[in-house]
Amino acid sequence: MKPYSIKKQLMTLDEDEKELLDSVEKGEWISDYETLAQFESRKTELMKAAQDTLNIHKDMEEIEITIHLPQNIFQKIITSAEKAGIHYQNWITNTLQKVVG
């Protein structure tokens, strides 16, 4: 199936998306990266993390669990996940996978 043209995609933007696009086009956004090489390096890192996550989930029959954690521990998990550039649930899964093999 052929993807929609850019023009058609722009016609389907909601008000928030139009506002964001307008803001980007006005140059109101600042890049976190000073060079294209930095951007490409981060992009590669995030793509690998996404692929690793997909591979983990593909190879596992999953069950859902509920755990109760102290707020300070949960905040440390969130911080670690943000540093790794992944969602905290994926970070927990990845960490447990490394620990228990």
What are the pLDDT digits (tens) for 31-64? 888 899 999 999 999 999 988 877 776 666 778 8
Specify the range with the lowest mean pLDDT, choosing from 14-28, 30-44, 54-68, 78-92.
54-68
Q: Say how far apart CA 98 and CA 62 lie, in whole Å.
A: 16
Mean pLDDT, rounded, of the chain: 86
Q: Say how far apart CA 11 and CA 29 lie, in whole Å.
A: 22
Assigned token pair, 49 = 């993390």
Q: What local confidence, expressed as pLDDT, does residue 96 receive?
A: 92
Q: Say how far apart CA 37 and CA 48 lie, in whole Å.
A: 16
**Prediction pTM value:** 0.42
Q: What local confidence, expressed as pLDDT, does residue 10 receive?
A: 65
Average pLDDT rounded to a whole number, residues 68-88: 95
